[in-house]
Amino acid sequence: MKKQSLTNKEETFKVLIAEDNAVSARILKKNIEDWGYEVVMAQDGDEAWKAYQDEKIRLAVLDWMMPKINGLDLCRRIREIDHEEGSKEYTYVILLTAKGQQADLIKGFSAGADDYITKPFNRHELKARLKTGKRIIDLQRQIMEQADRDGLTGLWNRKRMFKILEKEINRAQREERPLATIMIDVDNFKKINDTYGHHSGDSVLVEVSSYLQKSIRNYDEICRYGGDELFIILPNCNLAMTERIAERLRQCVSETKIKTDTGTLDITISLGGVSSEIFLSDLTPDKLVISSDEALLKAKSNGRNCVVIKKKKDKM
Amino acid sequence: MSELKSLNDTKPIDLPSALERIGGDESLLHELIEIYIEDFLEKHDLLKQAIEHGDFNTIKEIGHSLKGSSGNLSLTNLHETFYQIEMSGREEDIERARYFFHVLNKEFQKLRDFFPKQKTQFSG
């Protein structure tokens, strides 16, 4: 059985350098860029704090003594955000200290710093410390990614699905755009398991997931809701578009021969969709899930291998 | 042999150490020295005034800032001199500040002699 690979997009590793001293800042920038990192520069604590909030900073090199907000306070603020917002990824913080400040290092670690380097720094030491920071951030990212993936299909799991829904609802409301969802069920999945065995059933789920993933737009998200039920989140998608996409997905699966260890199977899916346009009150993840599920049940009762889109205005 | 390496036996800068810190990039070193000199000249007058007025906080801050730049460029003597100025500010020792301000001017002139082609002029 071919397990679906994770679809994590490669991102540049952004390093924030907060240093008011022009010479030191230029040396840091030159070196850190030479080592392949993308650098964001800040000349004081205020600028650094703004850059941290605006950019996806993975690692921060903060001078201890800076105008406006010093490195120690900046570090505390960064950690407060880490605690408040579960979705924000951890930022590795390296404090830059002068030799005389080494006695204060315990304060730095208490404020949430991960490491420190003494000025004037040794280039090789700085490189090694950045590499250590990157290794830890990459490992953390992998662990977070795995915790949010379904072990069989590699799709986002149910926990992540609700997080994505929250985020997309907020975005849709902010941008005044529709948001659609589709619940999908593999037709007669129990029968496949009973006839060909659970191993074949698993293969069917993996293959169907893979076909669907290849068929959606690159900004759509596909998740395993549970059992043989999959869930697709479609930003900026109205009812008509949702119907077209769902129908395309249905055709794609029905026209594809699904390979399993016990042979090639003809598989079909039923789909139930909804778009935010039908809701008259505030949109919530639960409303989208429940309405999509209701539409899916209708599709199944209509004889399966079909699409039902809920169009009636909903006061829920 | 480059211009910088041929001057290596003079005192104000530990050239191999400075170049090592920036991956051997000599043109960058010149750029950094230029930034340093500009920063020095800007802060020099402020430091002079701070010493005249006994403003220890400013003495400490300028000492600390230029100590950092000097260290990063391996300007060994200037690094030590600014360390002493920073400490004189911390310990509110005006005599020590005056003495090292005098040392500072001499050390800075050595640096200017070492890098005669740097554009920024110093009036002393």
The shortest CB-CB distance from A120 to any of B32, B35, B72 is to B72
Same fold: A14-147 with A158-309: no
What pLDDT score was predicted for residue A85?
53
Q: Specify the residue for token string 């290849």.
A: A214
- Taking Cα atoms as reference points, which of B119, B29, B104 lies closest to residue B74? B29
Instruction: Give the separation between CA A184 and CA B106, rounded to whole angstroms.
Output: 80
Q: What is the mean pLDDT of chain A?
A: 89
| Residues of chain B neighbouring A119 (CB-CB closer than 8 A) | 68, 71-72
| pTM exceeds 0.80 for this model | no
State the best of B22, B39, B67, B69 to mutate against chain A, taking most chain A CBs within 10 Å: B69
- Residue B123 banded pLDDT, cuts 50, 70, 90: very low
Q: CATH number of the domain at A14-147, please?
A: 3.40.50.2300
What pLDDT score was predicted for residue A68?
84
- Residue B6 banded pLDDT, cuts 50, 70, 90: very low
Q: What is the pLDDT of residues B20-32, one digit of tens each?
A: 999 899 999 999 9
Classify residue A155 by burial, with Cβ atoms within 10 Å: 0-12, 13-18, 19+.
Answer: buried
- Taking Cα atoms as reference points, which of A240, A249, A287 lies closest to residue A270? A249
- Interface residue A31 vs chain B (CB under 8 A): yes
The residue of chain B with its CA nearest to that of A30 is: B22
In eight-state DSSP terms, residue A48 is H
Between A103 and A99, whose confidence is greater?
Answer: A103
Shortest Cα distance, chain B CAs vs residue A112, angstroms = 24
What pLDDT score was predicted for residue A315?
55
What pLDDT score was predicted for residue A3?
44
Whether ipTM tops 0.85, in short, is no
- Across B34-49, average pLDDT: 94
User: CB-based contacts of A250: which residues, under 8 Å, 6+ apart?
Assistant: A268, A269, A270, A271, A305, A306, A307
What pLDDT score was predicted for residue A83?
63
Identified catalytic residue from A114, A228, A282, A314: A228
- Interface residue B41 vs chain A (CB under 8 A): no
User: CB-based contacts of A205: which residues, under 8 Å, 6+ apart?
Assistant: A152, A153, A186, A189, A224, A228
Shortest Cα distance, chain B CAs vs residue A20, angstroms = 9
Q: Is A104 a catalytic residue?
A: no
Q: What is the pLDDT of residues A114-137, one digit of tens each?
A: 999 988 888 999 999 999 999 999
Question: Does residue B118 contact residue B37 with C-beta atoms inside 8 Å?
Answer: yes
| Residues of chain B neighbouring A17 (CB-CB closer than 8 A) | none
**φ, ψ for residue A310 (rounded to 5)?**
-75, 120
> Which residue type sits at A209?
S
CB spacing of B28 vs A30 below 8 angstroms: yes
- Residue A260 banded pLDDT, cuts 50, 70, 90: confident
CA end-to-end distance (rounded Å), chain B: 32
Whether residue A120 has a cis bond before it, omega within 30° of 0: yes
- Across A206-212, average pLDDT: 94
Instruction: Give the separation between CA A84 and CA A308, rounded to whole angstroms.
Output: 40
Q: What is the mean pLDDT of chain B?
A: 86
- Residue A87 banded pLDDT, cuts 50, 70, 90: low
Domains and CATH numbers, chain B: 14-114 (1.20.120.160)
- Torsion, CA A35, CA A39, CA A44, CA A46, rounded to 10: -140
Tokens, residue A124: 């090789």
CB spacing of B32 vs A26 below 8 angstroms: yes
- Interface residue A103 vs chain B (CB under 8 A): no
- Interface residue A26 vs chain B (CB under 8 A): yes
| Residues of chain A neighbouring B35 (CB-CB closer than 8 A) | 22-23, 26
- C-alpha dihedral sign at A246, A248, A254, A260: negative
- Residue A4 banded pLDDT, cuts 50, 70, 90: very low
Tokens, residue B2: 């480059």
Question: Does residue B25 contact residue B47 with C-beta atoms inside 8 Å?
Answer: no
- Residue B119 banded pLDDT, cuts 50, 70, 90: low
The shortest CB-CB distance from A123 to any of B21, B31, B71 is to B21
Domain boundaries, chain A: 14-147, 158-309
User: CB-based contacts of A169: which residues, under 8 Å, 6+ apart?
Assistant: A179, A276, A283, A284, A285, A288
Q: Is the pLDDT of residue B120 over 90?
A: no
**φ, ψ for residue A88 (rounded to 5)?**
-75, 130
- Across B52-80, average pLDDT: 93
> Which residue type sits at B101?
F
CATH class of A158-309: alpha beta
